[in-house]
Amino acid sequence: MATPQKIKTCLWYDGKAEEAAEFYMSLFDDSRVTQVQRWGEVGPGEPGTVVVVMFELAGTEFMALNGGPEFQFTEACSISVDCDDQKEVDRLWSALTADGGQEGPCGWLKDKYGLSWQIVPSVLNDLVTDPDRARADRAMKAMLGMGKLDVQALLDAADGK
């Protein structure tokens, strides 16, 4: 039996924890629900309704809490996804901005639940940490002008094209 992840991110929802977890799991391989906790006769929630969903996205553990309307997500906390290629960037960007999600700058977006995501092609890290500082700066400047990140445009900018 695998050892549970010691530190998990808790995501606070107003009654949509299970729905959000199911949506996120549909986007990533190696994702599953590991536990669902429901209210019993004691507690502020309706008995039998979901209070916490423990789930994994691409092997990383999260918990989704139906905490109520008191708190909302902000950009101060986001989930960053390291994407293999433009196809993955496009697929996730499209899915996460659908149904009321919002596009943001520099590879950031908010999904329909208000959670912020960074959808980042893995090549970006290589470009902005390139030992050739002029090349890295051109890539950074290009990234700062984008919404959804464009791998080819980043490579072209880095190469001075």
The pLDDT tens digits of the residues spanning 27-84 come to 999 999 999 999 999 888 899 999 999 999 999 999 999 999 999 999 999 999 999 9
The amino acid present at 79, given as its one-letter code, is I
Whether the pLDDT of residue 4 is over 80: the answer is no
CATH superfamily of the 73-161 domain:
2,3-Dihydroxybiphenyl 1,2-Dioxygenase, domain 1 (3.10.180.10)
**R_g of the chain computed on alpha carbons:** 18
Closest CA to 112 of 25, 23, 26, 8: 23
Whether the pLDDT of residue 2 is over 90: the answer is no
Name the CATH architecture for the domain at 7-71.
Answer: 2-Layer Sandwich (3.30)
d(CA 64, CA 10): 6
Mean pLDDT of 125-154: 98
pTM, two decimal places = 0.93
Domains of the chain by residue range? 7-71, 73-161
Which residues face 80 on adjacent strands?
118
